[in-house]
């Protein structure tokens, strides 16, 4: 069994984020004073764009999930006094569906020498006898990063309200040549056939990202392994490492400790240098205590990503109840810092996703947990509708600020008209910026997709789209999010994001699917049934009283057919 970490892990992000806030406040603060004596400034207090069904705390936060005895737990940071870093406690919420959450009392807070300067991220593990333990990074009086554990005080309490930190903490110190300022985010531990627990702590040696491996029989006394589990030159600090088994035979998930011949493993890191994550698929060589990537994708930031957008500090856990592995990531605010202050909250958690190995073994596939569908409400549908070159089709009849859209496009009639792929186009994000969502003169198939959170005239919009190219003997599919026209407001961070979709559209008779979860200031998209995913934060500034619109569009040269489009209005979830 298993579970998660973001608990403290996200702590780290908050620390960094708050430093940033602090510095910026000086600048923004004076800017605001100038504004208040005459210069018009957007009225930030009204620009909340607060999400309706994504988890967020009332104030600054970041989190970590765990499943235990039928209940999902989320631990997150919370400042009871101000919407900035400080006075931080480990707030705790629980849920039975990962969508609706109720708050509990704080679980962990700095209180002892081994965490007096901070409780950073970690993970949960379920020990034999169904006993959960949290592993987290504490900051000691010398500002060293050390690894601590904490246990529930009362296992009969179904909500695990109180947590106890044993006096023998820290259980892992940065010894030898380990950099004590770069030593954090212990993973969920796994149990080997040799009767030892193992965990990995993220670190770096010079420019080399390192996953330092530790072993223990009793979860209290830990010994460092001779070799790291994995390391890669030039990748910098590895935050939030995650390591879990997947089966090439079935989409059923495996417990983190599952170990047998023929299993594959996924190894993911969050790169502090790029602020993006990447993962590889490979083999866990248990005898030599090493993870060996298959080598089918780059083992650096140009490699595979769970999400090619705003998605970081993700963590998976094994959901024993529904036998699935759940991936959960954090999506930071991309509004101006001044507005974050005004709003009083920053950062949301993406909708939890089931994750499994694709049938071809080349990547993982993700899909929003079924539970989110319980929020689906009013539905509209469009069948077999052609969108001609330069055309749009509006999805009418529902409100779309809070919506779930699933569409299947059919491009079978024009697969021979696709643009040629230039092998020099190796960076999908750049290619999305270069090609964009705008009408293409003489182009082939695409851009086609959805305009979400759009104004009625379509002037303001976030484009979620595909473009299809032809390489020597296969099609290349690009999926993009272009939020550059999402809002006219200044100070927003709105990069175009993109990823290639490893999907044989010829074999699928020209059909490709797209799903987008839309929630006021976030758009999470899943291309080709979850083979490529992109998340963006956007802050549409519609005229007062006007609502968000949703369109399907086609700016390619050839006509594209909507085979079927279903869209649902989403109810609000109960979030704390």
Ligand X SMILES: *[C@@H]1O[C@H](CO)[C@@H](O)[C@H](O)[C@H]1NC(C)=O
Min separation Cβ 161 and ligand X, Å: 8
Bridge partners (DSSP) of residue 331 are: 348
Min separation Cβ 398 and ligand X, Å: 14
Which residues of this protein are in contact with ligand X, per CB under 6 A? Answer: 46-47, 49, 154, 156-157, 179, 181-182, 234, 275, 298, 300, 302, 312, 332, 334, 401, 453, 474-475, 493, 506, 520, 540-542, 548
Min separation Cβ 339 and ligand X, Å: 10
Min separation Cβ 176 and ligand X, Å: 13
CB closer to ligand X, 256 vs 429: 429
Q: Are 523 and 536 in contact (CB under 8 A)?
A: yes
Which run of H or of E encompasses 72? strand 71-78
Q: Which of 326, 407, 403 is nearest to 370 (CA)?
A: 326
Min separation Cβ 493 and ligand X, Å: 4
CB closer to ligand X, 250 vs 546: 546
Min separation Cβ 169 and ligand X, Å: 22
Min separation Cβ 217 and ligand X, Å: 29
Min separation Cβ 262 and ligand X, Å: 25
Q: Which of 350, 402, 370, 368 is nearest to 568 (CA)?
A: 402
Q: Reduced to 3 states, what is the DSSP secondary structure of residue 393?
A: strand
d(CA 170, CA 168): 6
Min separation Cβ 520 and ligand X, Å: 4
| 3-state helix/strand/coil string of 86-105 | CCCEEEEEEECCCCCEEEEE
By the 10 Å C-beta count (0-12 exposed, 13-18 middle, 19+ buried), 272 is classed as buried
Q: Reduced to 3 states, what is the DSSP secondary structure of residue 202?
A: strand
Min separation Cβ 394 and ligand X, Å: 16
Determine how many CB atoms are found less than 10 A away from the CB of residue 493. 14
CB closer to ligand X, 191 vs 568: 568
Q: Which of 189, 378, 171, 187 is nearest to 270 (CA)?
A: 187
CB closer to ligand X, 115 vs 519: 519
Tokens of 232: 């890669």
Min separation Cβ 310 and ligand X, Å: 6
Q: Which of 460, 431, 475, 451 is nearest to 565 (CA)?
A: 451
Bridge partners (DSSP) of residue 525 are: 516, 534
By the 10 Å C-beta count (0-12 exposed, 13-18 middle, 19+ buried), 370 is classed as exposed
CB closer to ligand X, 487 vs 513: 487
d(CA 48, CA 56): 13
d(CA 272, CA 137): 17
d(CA 459, CA 9): 39
CB closer to ligand X, 113 vs 298: 298
CB closer to ligand X, 37 vs 543: 543
CB closer to ligand X, 280 vs 440: 280
CB closer to ligand X, 162 vs 439: 162
Q: Are 119 and 90 in contact (CB under 8 A)?
A: yes
CB closer to ligand X, 256 vs 316: 316
Min separation Cβ 246 and ligand X, Å: 22
* C-alpha radius of gyration, the chain, whole number: 24
CB closer to ligand X, 123 vs 486: 486
Q: Which of 258, 237, 239, 238 is nearest to 248 (CA)?
A: 258
Distance of CA 384 to the CA centre of its chain: 33
CB closer to ligand X, 102 vs 388: 102
- CA dihedral (34, 37, 43, 45) positive or negative: positive
């Amino acid at each position: 069994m298993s579970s998660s970490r973001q608990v403290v892990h996200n702590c780290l992000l908050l620390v960094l984020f708050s430093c940033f806030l602090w510095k910026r406040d000086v600048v923004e603060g004076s800017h605001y004073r100038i504004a208040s004596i005459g210069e018009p400034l957007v009225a930030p207090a009204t620009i909340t764009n607060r999400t309706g069904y994504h988890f967020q705390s009332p104030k600054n936060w970041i989190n970590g999930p765990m499943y235990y005895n039928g209940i999902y737990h989320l631990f997150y940071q919370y400042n009871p006094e101000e919407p900035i870093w400080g006075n931080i406690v480990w707030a705790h919420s629980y849920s039975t569906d990962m969508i609706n959450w109720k708050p509990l009392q704080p679980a962990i807070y700095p209180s002892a020498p081994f965490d007096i300067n901070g409780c950073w991220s970690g993970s949960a593990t379920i020990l034999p006898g169904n006993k959960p333990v949290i592993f987290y990074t504490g900051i000691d009086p010398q500002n060293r990063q050390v690894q601590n554990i904490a246990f529930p005080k009362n296992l009969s309490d179904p909500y695990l309200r109180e947590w106890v930190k044993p006096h023998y903490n820290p259980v892992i110190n940065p010894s030898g040549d380990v950099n004590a300022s770069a030593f954090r985010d212990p993973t969920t531990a796994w149990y080997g056939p040799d009767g030892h627990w193992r965990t990995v702590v993220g670190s770096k040696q010079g420019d080399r990202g390192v996953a330092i491996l530790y072993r223990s029989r009793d979860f209290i006394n830990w010994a460092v392994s001779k070799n790291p589990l994995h390391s890669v030159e030039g990748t910098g600090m590895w935050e939030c490492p995650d390591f879990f088994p997947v089966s090439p035979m079935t989409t059923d998930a495996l417990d983190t400790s599952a170990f047998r011949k023929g299993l594959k493993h996924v190894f993911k890191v969050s790169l502090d240098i790029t602020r993006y994550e990447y993962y590889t698929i490979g083999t866990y060589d248990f005898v030599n205590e090493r993870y060996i990537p298959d080598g089918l994708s780059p083992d650096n930031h140009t490699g595979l990503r769970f999400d090619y957008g705003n998605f970081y500090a993700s963590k998976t856990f094994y959901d024993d109840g529904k036998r699935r592995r759940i991936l959960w990531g954090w999506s930071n605010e991309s509004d101006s810092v001044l507005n974050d202050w005004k709003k009083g909250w920053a950062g949301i958690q993406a909708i939890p996703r089931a994750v499994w190995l694709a049938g071809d073994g080349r990547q993982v596939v993700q899909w929003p947990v079924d539970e989110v569908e319980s929020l689906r409400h009013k539905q509209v549908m469009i069948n077999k509708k052609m969108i001609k070159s330069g055309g749009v089709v509006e999805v009418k009849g529902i409100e779309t600020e809070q919506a779930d859209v699933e569409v299947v496009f059919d491009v079978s009639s024009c697969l021979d008209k696709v643009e040629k792929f230039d092998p020099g186009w190796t960076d999908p994000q750049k290619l999305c910026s270069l090609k964009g969502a705008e009408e293409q003169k003489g182009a082939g198939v695409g851009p086609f997709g959805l305009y979400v959170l759009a104004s009625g005239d379509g002037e303001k919009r976030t484009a979620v789209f595909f473009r299809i190219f032809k390489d020597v003997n296969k099609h290349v599919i690009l999926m993009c999010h272009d939020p550059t026209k999402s809002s006219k407001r200044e100070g927003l961070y709105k990069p175009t994001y993109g990823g290639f979709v490893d999907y044989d559209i010829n074999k699928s008779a020209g059909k490709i699917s797209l799903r987008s979860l839309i929630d006021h200031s976030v758009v999470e998209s899943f291309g080709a049934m979850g083979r490529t995913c992109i998340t963006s934060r956007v802050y549409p500034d519609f005229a007062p009283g006007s609502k968000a619109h949703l369109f399907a569009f086609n700016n390619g040269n050839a006509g594209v057919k909507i085979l079927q489009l279903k869209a649902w209005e989403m109810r609000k979830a109960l979030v704390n």
